[in-house]
Amino acid sequence: MNLNILVLPGDGIGTEVTREAIRVLRHVTDKYHHSVKLTEGLLGGIAIHKTGSPFPPATVELAVKADATLLGAVGLPEFDEAPPEKRPERGLLGIRKAMGVFANLRPVRAYKSLLDSSPLKNDLVEGTDMIIVRELTGGIYYGTPRGISGQGPDTRAVNTMTYTRAEIERVTHMAFHLARGRKKKVTSVDKSNVLENSQLWRQVVVEVAREYPDVTLDHILVDNCAMQLILNPKRFDVVLTENMFGDILSDEAAVLAGSIGMLPSASIGERKSSGVWVGLYEPVHGSAPDIAGQNKANPLGAIMSVAAMLEYSFGLKKEAEAVGVAVEAVLATGRVTADLHPTGAPATTEQVGEAVCAGI
Ligand code: IPM
Ligand code: MG
């Protein structure tokens, strides 16, 4: 197979973890006799520095031409005070929207060898295996009107949480489809005791669920969900939620996996004109400027994002599994980065990438 991939390393530790993810990608595709064509593009803070824009038009063109896109992370502290359109994050939101990747899949697993890495009690965490399906191209992240206006004590800031029935339907279908290949349970998260937006969300989810009688559906309010993720994480299989709730809950759920550095993600959408599925793959963690450039960052979230790409964008299940098995083997040896609190000396980003390759 010929894999035509766009790589957007982005900012901070994005470049380091992407380097290891590519090392693993090259290794596994060599081994299984596929050829890979990589193109590199600019996104986020580095794109602002080089072109003045966090999401240059050239990057959109490259993303449209590629079969799949691998992203590192975006965000640099020097832009903390910049207006929204001049912030690196705008690049990330821009590419998600431009690619139309409406469903962000964030699997959260508690690996046996990492139980001690979580601050939570082992018996509580053990057996956790869920996937958060976060709506990614709608809701309050994109809704209008938005902005800050007025002056003095009358200064007003507005954001709008908006969803259409169609937007809720398509991501709900994705969640139910995934549940069929798992434990057949969908938990929809909303705030329907307060928000009209959530009332529509719940209504549409109930309607779509009728098409999947073999899948169990329950509903949970987002505040209670935040608590249940820690009290009883095993109750969750597929967690379906809107954009901002999903953003918040997935960082919380990362505690179950031992470190946010462990979490991969796959963002999937359908290219309108051709009906082809498109995918954007990125670790859930951010650019972590405090440890950038030190060869300390955990590359496993990025490496598992490559595994997700192989599976979802290219249908290469065996190859994806080979990466997953190698990652588990590396975890079992305890040669992991500092975020996972190894008992011995922490491994470097590069050493972890090399160890995964050696295990494939
Ligand atoms: C994430 C990140 C992004 C988001 C930021 C960097 C814009 O937190 O992917 O979870 O909020 O979606
Ligand atoms: Mg986030």
Do 250 and 138 share a structural domain? yes
Query: Both 326 and 282 in a single domain?
Result: yes
Pocket of ligand 1 (CB under 6 A): 75, 89, 92, 247, 284, 286
pLDDT of residue 273: 61
H/E stretch holding 108 reads strand 103-109
For the chain, give the longest Cα–Cα distance.
65
Domain edge (last residue) among 235, 257, 279: 257
In the 8-state DSSP scheme, what is residue 152? G
Query: What is the domain extent for residue 350?
Result: 1-105+259-360
Q: What is the pTM of this model?
A: 0.95
Integer-rounded Cα Rg, in Å, for the chain is 20
Q: Are residues 292 and 305 in the same domain?
A: yes
**Single-letter amino acid, residue 191:** K
Last residue of a domain, one of 225, 257, 289: 257
Contact, 133 vs 171, CB < 8 A? yes
Domain count, the chain: 2
**Candidate of 71, 74, 79, 89 to mutate for ligand 1, largest count of ligand atoms within 8 Å of Cβ:** 89
Residues 249 and 273 in one domain: no
Could you give the CA distance from residue 184 to residue 175 in angstroms, rounded to a whole number? 10
How confident is the model at residue 351, as a pLDDT?
98
**Do 150 and 268 lie in a common domain?**
no
Q: Is residue 80 part of a domain?
A: yes
pLDDT band per the 50, 70, 90 thresholds, residue 276:
low
Is residue 151 assigned to a domain?
yes
Residues 228 and 160 in one domain: yes
Q: What is the pLDDT of residues 243-274, one digit of tens each?
A: 999 999 999 999 999 999 999 999 999 865 66
Output the domain CATH number for residue 248. 3.40.718.10
Give the type of residue at 169: E
The rounded distance, in Å, linking the Cα atoms of 59 and 3 is 18
State the Cα–Cα distance between residues 194 and 190, nearest whole angstrom.
9
Is 67 labeled as catalytic in the residue annotation? no
* Mean pLDDT score across all residues of the chain: 96
What is the C-alpha to C-alpha distance for residues 110 and 108, in angstroms, rounded to an integer?
7
* Residues 140 and 245 grouped into a single domain: yes
The 3-state DSSP class for residue 316 equals coil
- Record the tokens describing residue 166, joined without a space: 């169609």
Q: Which residue in this structure is represented by tokens 């986020």?
A: 44
* Residue where a domain terminates, one of 195, 226, 257: 257
Do 250 and 263 share a domain, yes or no? no
> Residue 112 domain-assigned?
no
pLDDT at 270: 83
What Cα–Cα distance (Å) separates residue 95 from each residue in 28, 63, 101, 102, 142?
Answer: 27, 8, 9, 11, 13
Averaged pLDDT, 66-79 = 96
Could you tell me if 249 and 274 lie in one domain? no
pLDDT digits (tens, 9 = 90+) for 192-250: 999 999 999 999 999 999 999 999 999 999 999 999 999 999 999 999 999 999 999 99
- What is the percent of the chain where pLDDT is above 70? 98
